A and B are shown apart, each in its own frame.
Chain A
Amino acid sequence: MSRWIVGIDVGGTFTDLVAVGPDGKIHATKTPSTRDQSDGVLTALARLAADLGMDLDQLLAELPLIVHGTTVATNSLLEYDGAKVGLITTSGFRDEIEFRRSYKESVFDPRLKAPYAIVPRRYRIGVSERVDHKGTVLTPLDENEVRAALAGFRAEGIEAVAVCFLFSFVNPAHERRVAEIVREVMPEAFLSLSSEVLPEIREFERVSTTVVNAFVGPRMNAYLTHLESRLRERGFGGELFVIQSNGGVQSAGEAGSFAVNGLLSGPAGGVTAGSFLGEIAGYPNLITVDMGGTSYDIALIESLRPAVTTESWIGRYRIALPMLDIHTIGAGGGSIAWIDAGGALQVGPASAGSNPGPACYGRGGTRPTVTDANVVLGLLNPDFFLGGEMQLDRKAAEDAILHEIAEPLGLSVVEAALAISEIVNNNMANATRLVTTKRGHDPQQFALVAAGGAGALHVGKQAEELGIQTVIVPSLAPVFCALGDTVADLRVSEARTHIGLAETVDFEALNDAFQEIEARARQRLSTQSLVRNFDVRRSLDLHYAGEVHEVTVPVRARTRRITRLNLDATIADFHALHERLFAHKDLAQPVEILTLRVDLIGVREKPRLPAADFGDEDPSVALKNVRPVHFDVEALEASVYDGALLKPGNFIEGPAIIEQWGTTIVVHPGHECLIDAYGNIIIEIGQAARNRKATLEPERFPG
């Protein structure tokens, strides 16, 4: 038992657990999420213990590692239920968090409201200090002003102090001194320094990320401390890790201090699992899609590496840390279908949520949703929703679609349901296309991985629309994020601004800076004992001088020292990447370095999943029945299989439905699927590759 690894992902509805044994044997369980997330975690662990014939204390005593995906930080920010934060900043700049670089989510809405102020103006205090862009102190820190500010904070009951001074990424001395004073006079306060959270140029991005860290930090810290103490009380002697927004894991202590890194802790597990799945199934390029009740998440994995972005907005706050690039749209099973004033059918972004939920839930909802359409079309079995734990009301679904969509549009109920399905499929396909093309890729080069309860219902049609030939529905699709928790490596992402033209770079300074960043990253991972070896990935944020946005390019160096040759090769990669992303490059234009990045990856031993031998192609043992399903207006008789009884090697031709606990997989007419050695369902779309017209390339301008 001693080498079992447990991943636990807490979602909005369910708490999922995956435990992987030393022989690769997997146990998975799902329990309802609870208000105190630690209750759900312990319930899931107790259920695992029961499955293994143990009691909880015995199980916990033998576990070396629990990796946790939690929505505590996310919920804290999205619900604006965080700490009371005070901000100390350079005098004259206390409103940057409010100006937010004049960014507005809606360009033309004259009544767009301000975001909820997580640091109200009265708690934003400017103090005298100034450092210039070279790090020279122009105005010394006025400690009396700092102490006065902190006295005010104490009086107001401030729980967390954020500190962000101009150019602190060049010279953090003033921020560090403030930290010393905070520890002296407000020792109980959570502290968030911009020079530690995000030592990069651009003050709004830095202050926003730092303040969010302060806002969610105390909640995250308290939760992790609470969870860990409950686990310890029951005998847990191993390590508690938390999955981070960059797809890596960190100790609970680190995760609490840099809570802003945990904002994507939930969905990050799914992307990491996608990468793991791609490795064992032989698909290095993947698009993972996760369709839940209210939203649809899309992420790209290229050569088994998930795409990362530093341009995230969460809860209307800018988070400039490297995070998995998970694109979310408001399309889920609960998305409401409606007709706009121009007579066009729209689906979402409003959602019926889980209460009242879709009309077919029978909880009083009357608005037609995507789930209602799936019930009407026969894709979802009303008697087998959540494995039969919940009965769906087909009549209520039909009535909702009839009154709200079919009658106004002059369609039959089935036609209206097909229309709802087509619109939502199209919305998801368009979003998926955007995610791939914005990174310079063609979706046809990728396999589509469907996770989440509703993903496998829609993924086949999207693949057709996108020209994707292979769809993978993981055997652990309903607990995919928890699987990712068990396989994620430790990871620290560190960065520092280091501005200079590539042509005239000072290599000694560049190498020194990289070594400092790496040393800091190693310090953050120094206490970890579960690391097999370290992988250091260095990269540069580059752009053509004058461009506003940067492109992150891996450094081409085999040694720790970067030379002119290394840099030239990296710059060549930059030109190529720029052309791939934006359809042009400019070899004559000076290239500027803006930020140095180091990803220190503590590689963990990965679970080895046992591959089963392929058996008979014939899936008839798993055949439950045959039922009419509307892939078009005319229904087709589709074979319905019990997913739990399918074996590796089974081959199914569409039209067919595979029903599993927590998900239903649709195999459309013309599609075929195979159960692979790991129990994953591989659907082949078999769509002919499209011939592309050769187009005229623009002639380059003279330099």
Chain B
Amino acid sequence: MIRSQVVYSRLAAIVREMSDTVARTARSKGLAEGRRYAVAALTGAPRIAAQVQFDASHSYLIRASAAALIDYFAFDLADGDIVVVGDPYSGGSTPQVLTFLAPFFHEGELVLFPAIRAELADLAGEYPGTLHPTASETWQEAIRVTPVKLYRNGVLQRDILRFLLRNSRAADLVRSDIEAIVSALRAAGRNLDTLLRDRGRQAVEGAIDDAIDHGRRLVGTYLSRWNGMERAGATTIERIGSNPIALKLRLSAEGGTLLADFVGSNPQVAEPYNITRWHVRGYVLVAAVAEMLDDVALNDGVLDRLEVRAERGSIVDPILPSATGLSDLVTGHAVAGLVRAMLQGDGDGMAPIDGPAPAIVLFAPIGSREDNPPFALDPGFAISGAGWGSPVLAGHRLLPSAEILEARDGFEVLFRERSPMGAIDVLVRNRRGDLEAAAIVPQRSGHACGALVLVEGDRETPLDCVTGGPIPDGALLRFTYPRYAGDLDDET
């Protein structure tokens, strides 16, 4: 066991290094500042051997996407290959997210798969970027990248890359990010090679098995506090101008395993609130074990401790062509909030982890130019239910510097402070020229989760749910981020 721990810690370090490389070299703000990616090493099964993620959503998605790729390329994977998939209906979640898998061979045999799942800046769809709050079907949100080979035997498949770049309004950013991802995967391959030479394949595979067993025991012990629990609950996902979407859940635990049964939830909707089954599972997992996730090696042993049941064609297991673009921004929060509340029951002590916030993506007027990289302007954050910092579900996003926004990006931040209510208020002037925007302010319990307002002179226009709305040069955007905590100790 001790030797296994030693070997496994090397593998975990390789995965962490892969993650650091992406963070430092990705060019898009979504990856470099937003940390909207996850990295992992998977076995051939595929099982997650080790994973690093910065937000809850990825937990099961790398494995599910890898499974789709391995299934598709079952007998056609070779040393030097990198295969890619980006499709909510091939193990994915939201659009514009690609999973890259690099089969790693040792002495001629396929042993592991370094993998990176990352949200790219733009992969077509009706509006630039990842936000389309009124999409009715997935193709409005992005192209579907079903399994393809980007590298074959180490040779770049230029037609595939060209296809991806020609379907992006931010080709330069996408190209740079893919290169950073490929470099990280290749470096991981070299490090894995060193590890296997040092320790031998058997020791590495044994260490992975032991680590997965350890993870299973660790999380099982933690979840066993709810053994015998059977609880039912429900919540709604609110939308502007439509009826709320019902989310029903029966939560039970036995033998240190949690079962989340969403049977009875709303059928899928022709709006982007749908959330794929693997994505749901990630939110349930984080809701259940958030307190221990920073200290536990995230592997299949952890993931195995949680099961989700849902009806095909429902809001939590949609089928084509349902749009899923708001599953991170809205639906995931509702899922996690419901699970958290039900686990707490009548007890006390589980701090909330959810907390939706306004979102806006800006771009040059549609049709005005071929290259139109979107800009996700997110100059503040919601205050978590625990009273400090952003909610857990906001992930590990880096707040943009006001000085960088002005000097480099063309947005002048005039104000960014806590309001008397303790929420973060931000006022930004657009100096980037005439723009358009897609925006949403999530709703909850009959109220908006914050506010986003366009200010032009005396005229104020709420941007609660906007697609392609004009944001003139010189206009102001006023952000009010919600505060989910109770007591306010403002002047200490």
Contacts and interface: CB of A to CB of B under 8 A. Distances in A.
- What DSSP secondary structure best describes chain B's contact surface? helix
Interface in B157-197: 158, 161, 173, 175-176, 178-180, 182-184, 186-187, 189-191, 193-194, 197
A133 B28 contact: no
B401 A201 contact: yes
B491 interface: yes
Interface in B398-452: 398-404, 406-408, 412, 414-418, 424, 427
Given A122-B491, A546-B27, A583-B187, A108 B294 contact: yes
B250 interface: no
- What DSSP secondary structure best describes chain A's contact surface? loop
B395 interface: yes
A354 B392 CA distance: 36
A133 B392 contact: no
B194 to A, nearest CB: 7
Interface stretch (A23-31, A88-96, A648-656): A88-96
Interface string A392-434: 0000000000000000010000000001001100110010011
A699 B154 contact: yes
Contact of B6 (A107, A111, A113, A423): A423
Contact of B416 (A95, A121, A690): A95
Nearest to A204: B401
Contact of B403 (A104, A166, A438, A582): A166
B293 to A, nearest CB: 4
A438 B27 CA distance: 19
A693 interface: yes
Contacts of B391: 110
Contacts of A133: 403, 406-407
A204 B398 CA distance: 11
Given A430-B9, A546-B173, A121 B403 contact: no
Contacts of B384: 110
Given A108-B293, A422-B2, A546 B28 contact: yes
Interface in B361-399: 380-381, 384-392, 394-399
Contacts of A430: 9-10, 13
Contacts of A95: 416-418, 424
A544 B32 CA distance: 12
A699 B160 CA distance: 14
A167 B23 CA distance: 26
Given A120-B492, A166-B402, A499 B407 contact: yes
Interface size class of B (residues with CB under 8 A): 35 or more
A111 B351 contact: yes
Contact of B2 (A340, A419, A433, A697): A419
Interface string A683-703: 000000011110111110110
B318 interface: no
A117 interface: yes
Given A343-B214, A544-B176, A109 B294 contact: yes
Interface in B53-104: 54-56, 79-80
B217 A341 contact: yes
B218 interface: yes
Contacts of B394: 102
Interface residues of A, number: 76
A112 B418 contact: no
Interface string A484-502: 0000000000000001000
A99 interface: yes
Nearest to B28: A546
A110 B336 CA distance: 13
B397 A102 contact: yes
A438 B401 contact: no
A355 interface: no
B386 A202 contact: no
A584 B291 contact: no
Contacts of A419: 2
B163 to A, nearest CB: 13
Contact of B388 (A114, A126, A345): A114
Given A132-B406, A698-B182, A344 B214 contact: yes
B389 A698 contact: no
Interface in A547-579: 547-549, 578
A583 B184 contact: yes
Contact of A114 (B32, B54, B389, B392): B389
Contacts of A547: 24-27, 32
A112 B156 CA distance: 44
A36 interface: no
Interface string A576-619: 00100111101001000000000000000000000000000000
A101 interface: yes
A330 to B, nearest CB: 13
Contact of B9 (A98, A102, A426, A698): A426
B390 A102 contact: yes
Contacts of A94: 417
The 4 closest A-B pairs by CB, nearest first: A342-B218, A696-B154, A92-B415, A584-B183
Given A546-B176, A701-B156, 7 more contacts: A94-B417, A110-B391, A111-B386, A203-B401, A341-B221, A692-B190, A698-B154
12 contacts: A95-B424, A99-B416, A106-B294, A108-B353, A112-B389, A204-B401, A430-B10, A547-B24, A548-B24, A586-B176, A698-B151, A699-B154
